[in-house]
């Protein structure tokens, strides 16, 4: 028999996000420490209250971080920095407190451009793994970098559904509209569809404005049990349910299901393989806003179709009609996302979810936000509520 459900038993109780920019004087360790201190202050707790720590594969290791802040913990874990695994990493923290391996887990990440870099995965060996790299990369042909995988899938999407780069432009424009309402966003200048169209090709059909920012910053979150959360300063942000990363030959990093990238089958996807709404006990229509790991703009339409917010091939129409921007029917990445707010390994997206559900977002606040979903094209998802 299955044990007690984790639903509503774990909460985010503190968040910290540093200024976003380029900081030559601050190594990743310093950015992580700054974010950690901000999160402690936000939660109204002290470092001694933290007994679990998660760091990422890029940035400072967990042991160096703990030495720096003079803290011993009974739960340490190091997760992948890759965006497709950060919701699983957050759930590691949730499971740790749910099962009593720790009472308060801090997730900290300091992001430096030279560590996350330009993702030239030929020279980090990632592109040379046996059976091709994580994005189908093959550096011998100059096929490298995450942008390659998404460009390859985007071409298939455009071909199958008769869409163009101009249709896609509305994704980046919508997210910039959010960022313009966020004083901490790295990119806040006005952006039009023409600006997007006039930006240079990175890997055709992917333009510069389809790619996330590559700046620096630190992010931290504090996770504890619902019981403890109710004693603390902030309104708890509860985890209702989660879904893992779907993977295998029918899935491809940076391709929606059914597009025919690498060895994927070609078919019209229907969202029948997901259990997330049933597990959370809600309907999809109960979701007030979603957060997507928007390393590149195409993954937003992929995510909208993956979870059934839009039918196959229809997401860019939904976006063009203004649905994902400020005041839209389903605001996406209300901080401006990685496309405009900035790239802190994606952790800034979880921080925005918490702030929205605490009602702290001022001009960009989603009215009466109660349920926000982390929703990625690979199926990984977490549903949060206040």
Partner 1 sequence: MANTKLYDESTGRYLPIQYPEEAEYWESAKKHRLVVPKCEDCGHLFYPIGPVCSHCLSLNVGWQQVSGKGRISSYVIFHKAWAEWLKPRVPYAVVQVELDEGPRLTTNLVEAGPEEARVGLEVEAVFETVTDEVTLLQFRPRKPA
Task: Return residues touching partner 1 (CB under 8 A).
Answer: 118, 120, 122-123, 128, 130-132, 136, 138-145, 147-148, 151-153, 155-156, 159, 200-206, 249, 260-263
The alpha-helical segments, DSSP class H, found in 70-117 are 86-98, 113-116
Find out whether 318 and 363 touch, Cβ atoms under 8 Å.
Answer: no
Q: Which is nearer to partner 1, 114 or 201 (CB)?
A: 201
Give the Cα separation of 257 and 12 in Å (integer).
31
Rounded least distance, CB 131 to partner 1, Å: 4
Q: Which is nearer to partner 1, 131 or 363 (CB)?
A: 131
Compute the CA torsion angle 54, 60, 63, 66 (nearest 10 deg).
-80
List, in order, residues 6 or more apart from 211 with CB less than 8 Å away: 147, 202, 295, 296, 297, 339
Give the Cα separation of 172 and 206 in Å (integer).
12
Find out whether 42 and 234 touch, Cβ atoms under 8 Å.
Answer: yes
Rounded least distance, CB 254 to partner 1, Å: 12
Bridge partners, residue 372, by sequence:
289, 384
Rounded least distance, CB 200 to partner 1, Å: 7
Rounded least distance, CB 129 to partner 1, Å: 9
Provide the 10 A C-beta neighbour count for residue 249.
9
Q: Which is nearer to partner 1, 206 or 369 (CB)?
A: 206
Rounded least distance, CB 244 to partner 1, Å: 22
Rounded least distance, CB 201 to partner 1, Å: 4
Q: Which is nearer to partner 1, 170 or 252 (CB)?
A: 252
- DSSP codes joined into one string, 298-323: THHHHHHHHTTSS-TT-HHHHHHTTS
- Comparing CA positions, the residue from 187, 18, 183 lying closest to residue 108 is 18
Q: Which is nearer to partner 1, 62 or 128 (CB)?
A: 128
Q: Which is nearer to partner 1, 265 or 329 (CB)?
A: 265
Q: Which is nearer to partner 1, 22 or 266 (CB)?
A: 266
Give the Cα separation of 362 and 190 in Å (integer).
19
Rounded least distance, CB 118 to partner 1, Å: 7
Give the Cα separation of 147 and 204 in Å (integer).
10
């Amino acid at each position: 028999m299955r044990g007690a459900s984790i639903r509503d038993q774990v909460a985010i109780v503190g968040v910290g996000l540093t200024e976003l920019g380029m900081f030559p004087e601050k190594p990743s360790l310093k950015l992580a420490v700054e974010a950690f201190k901000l999160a402690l202050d936000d939660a109204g707790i002290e470092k001694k209250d933290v007994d679990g720590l998660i760091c990422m594969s890029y940035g400072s290791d967990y042991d160096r971080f703990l030495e720096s802040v003079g803290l011993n913990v009974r739960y340490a874990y190091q997760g992948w920095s890759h965006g497709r695994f950060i919701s699983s990493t957050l759930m590691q923290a949730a499971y740790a407190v749910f099962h009593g391996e720790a009472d308060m887990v801090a997730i900290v990440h300091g992001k430096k451009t030279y560590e996350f870099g330009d993702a030239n995965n030929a020279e980090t060996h990632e592109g040379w793994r046996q059976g091709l790299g994580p994005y189908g990369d093959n550096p011998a042909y100059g096929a490298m970098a995450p942008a390659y995988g998404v460009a390859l899938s985007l071409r298939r999407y455009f071909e199958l559904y008769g869409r163009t780069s101009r249709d896609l432009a509305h994704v980046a424009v919508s997210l910039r509209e959010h960022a313009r309402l966020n004083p901490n966003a790295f990119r806040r200048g006005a952006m039009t569809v023409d600006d997007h169209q006039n930006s240079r090709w990175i890997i055709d059909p992917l333009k510069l404005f389809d790619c996330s920012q590559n700046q620096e910053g630190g992010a931290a979150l504090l996770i504890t049990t619902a019981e403890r959360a109710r004693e603390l300063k902030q309104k708890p942000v509860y985890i209702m349910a989660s879904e893992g990363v779907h993977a295998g030959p029918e899935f491809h990093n940076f391709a929606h299901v059914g597009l025919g990238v690498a060895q994927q089958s070609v078919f019209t996807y229907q969202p029948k393989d997901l259990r997330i709404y049933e597990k959370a006990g809600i309907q999809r229509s109960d979701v007030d806003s979603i957060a997507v790991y928007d390393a590149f703009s195409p993954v937003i339409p992929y995510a909208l179709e993956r979870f059934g917010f839009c039918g196959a091939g229809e997401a860019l129409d939904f976006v063009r009609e203004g649905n994902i921007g400020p005041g839209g029917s389903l605001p996406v990445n209300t901080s401006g996302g990685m496309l405009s707010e900035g790239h802190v390994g994606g952790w800034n997206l979880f921080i925005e979810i918490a702030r929205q559900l605490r009602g702290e977002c001022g001009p960009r606040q989603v009215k009466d936000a109660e349920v926000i979903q982390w929703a990625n094209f690979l199926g990984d998802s977490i549903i949060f509520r206040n």
